[in-house]
Chain A
Amino acid sequence: MDSSNRTSGVATTQGQITDSLSRLPWWLLILVLGAVFLIFRFINDETYREIFNFLRSGIIVTIRVTVIAYVFAITFGLLAGLGRVSSNPIIYNIATLYVQIMRGLPILVTLLYVSFVIIPLVITQINTLGVYLAGIGLLGEENILAMLGNRRAGLEVNFEIRAIIALAISYGAFSAEIFRAGIESIGRGQMEAARSLGMNYFEAMRHIILPQAVRRVLPPLGNDFIAMLKESSLVSALGVQDITQLGRLYSASSFEYLKTYNMVAFLYLSMTILLSMGVKTMETRLRTND
């Protein structure tokens, strides 16, 4: 009896050890080791340093495109999300149409369509309006509306701006659904209590519903930001010189495919993994605060 007890005791400890070993974030350890190894190579390898210097301006472009597009995307998303829960049929249908179209299109197609079709069309319309307003004497001959898109006047709408607009429109639809789900997760009783105290719909939304909904949508919105950072690599299809595009240019001229794409992958991964750990932390914080 004594001995059997001891063996089972040992077995449990062993079981506990394997158990806790299997729960360690091994993937993270491997990633960190990989990163350390790569950074070590980068420092000691002339080519890697050259690649990094070449890609540096791309890092800034990638971050700039992501951040600006994201800010617009969550603004569109909030508006469309409010439209999706509106009882006004016109507002509801406009918002739903927008969300359905954008969610049904590949982002690359949206990017191309907005950049080469929608934006030129809008610019032409604005030009026409500018010329018309100049014609009836409301504005000068060379007003900003008439000259929009004109490279010589310094009013060119470059591809980075087009890409930002396209990404914002596309991601607005995704965050709209996040906002809608967040708002709908707040019980009907909250709106009724606010209305019964005399608040109108917008006051109730602003002071009662949205503050509660925001806490629930922060983690998914954070994940959206990470997705946007990755998806921003699609702007390379428009020739915008982000990390991906510069990587393509460098590797094509130097034939250093392995090292260039090592560096490209490393740059994206180090940003996305750090961000997703940030989102995780935020998630647990919000949960413990509930």
Chain B
Amino acid sequence: MIESPKNSMVVIQNVDKHFGTVKAVNNVSVTIEAGEVVVIIGPSGSGKSTLLRCINFLEVPTSGDIWIDGIHLSKKTKNINAVRREVGMVFQQFNLFPHLTALENITIAQRVVRKRSKSEAAEIARQQLKRVGIPEKENVYPGQLSGGQQQRVAIARALAMNPKIMLFDEPTSALDPEMIKEVLDVMLDLAKEGMTMIVVTHEMGFARNAADRIIFMDEGRVIEDTTPNELYDNPQHDRTKLFLSKILQ
């Protein structure tokens, strides 16, 4: 095993991810400390999702190294699933399990992966549903929930595994405007509680309120990595300025 160069929660070092000739992620190095909230922005196709998916190994990097809480990720890491369960992920399309109720969606991985008893898993699931504000929906199937409710169940499902890091890939962009706030509020609470979060989003209000850092990506590269205020008030690169003028108008 390769020793982590730093004592941080997430260390990404010279990571490349190529799809054929497309360099989706191009020599990215980022370090994230425990408790930090990092927002990633950038134009479509700039590699935000791919970078996020590399962090929990849904995509295997073409080259480079990633450490999660000191554990090096590689194809040879036998306990890749053990690392994955420390990293919760929330998807744009929710990806709830449609054949299971809200409660079962939250208990299934606890039981299969964490080997918790049925009653213990259900107890934790109810706490999480309460935390995201929909305790009354435990016996409802995803198909009967609104988009905002589905995304909150998805967040509860990830949190029930007690992850050290939460990844969000455009969690509100599939939602109707009136439902965006209820999801962002849950994420703000989570940020305040000290969760390490990496969030791909274009919700600038959330970035300003919650983010410690903003990373701007373009064509697979990290262009800027700075604080929200610094980025808005004093962007260093023309590409950043151009992009910000588009999304802030």
Chain A interface (Cβ within 8 Å of chain B)? 187, 189-190, 192-200, 203, 207-208, 211-212, 215
Contacts and interface: CB of A to CB of B under 8 A. Distances in A.
B112 A207 contact: yes
Interface in B78-92: 81-82, 84-85, 87-89, 91
A254 to B, nearest CB: 56
Chain B interface residue count: which class?
20 to 34
A203 B56 contact: no
Q: In this complex, which of B58, B95, B114, B157 has the most chain A Cβ atoms within 10 angstroms of its Cβ? A: B95
Given A189-B91, A192-B58, A192-B91, A197 B97 contact: no
B84 A193 contact: no
A189 B89 CA distance: 12
B13 interface: no
B81 A212 contact: no
B44 to A, nearest CB: 19
Contacts of B56: 196
B89 A196 contact: yes
B97 A190 contact: yes
A208 B104 CA distance: 11
Contact of B112 (A187, A189, A203): A203
Contacts, number: 60
A203 B97 CA distance: 14
Contact of B113 (A187, A193, A203, A215): A203
30 contacts: A187-B95, A189-B93, A190-B95, A192-B58, A192-B91, A192-B95, A193-B95, A193-B96, A194-B97, A195-B58, A195-B84, A196-B58, A196-B87, A196-B88, A196-B89, A196-B158, A197-B84, A197-B85, A197-B88, A197-B161, A198-B81, A198-B109, A198-B114, A199-B81, A203-B112, A203-B113, A211-B99, A212-B97, A212-B98, A212-B99
Interface of B: 56, 58, 81-82, 84-85, 87-89, 91, 93, 95-99, 108-109, 112-114, 154, 157-158, 161
Nearest to A215: B99
Given A200-B81, A208-B97, A194 B109 contact: yes
A94 B111 CA distance: 34
A105 B22 CA distance: 43
A30 to B, nearest CB: 41
B58 A197 contact: no
A198 B99 contact: no
**Can you list the 8 inter-chain pairs with the closest CB atoms, starting with the nearest?**
A198-B85, A197-B109, A193-B95, A189-B95, A196-B89, A198-B113, A198-B84, A198-B81
A197 B93 CA distance: 16
Given A198-B81, A198-B82, A198-B85, A193 B112 contact: no
Given A190-B97, A203-B112, A197 B91 contact: no
A197 B158 contact: yes
Contact of B91 (A193, A207, A212): A193
A212 B99 CA distance: 7
B84 A207 contact: no
B160 to A, nearest CB: 9
Nearest to A208: B97
A189 B92 CA distance: 10
Contacts of A207: 108, 112
Contacts of B109: 194, 197-199
B98 A196 contact: no
Contact of A199 (B89, B93, B99, B112): B112
Contacts of B157: 197
A114 B108 CA distance: 44
A128 B84 CA distance: 50
Nearest to A203: B112
Q: In this complex, which of A189, A190, A196 has the most chain B Cβ atoms within 10 angstroms of its Cβ? A: A196
A141 to B, nearest CB: 48
A199 B95 CA distance: 15
A199 B113 contact: yes
A209 to B, nearest CB: 10
A190 B96 CA distance: 7
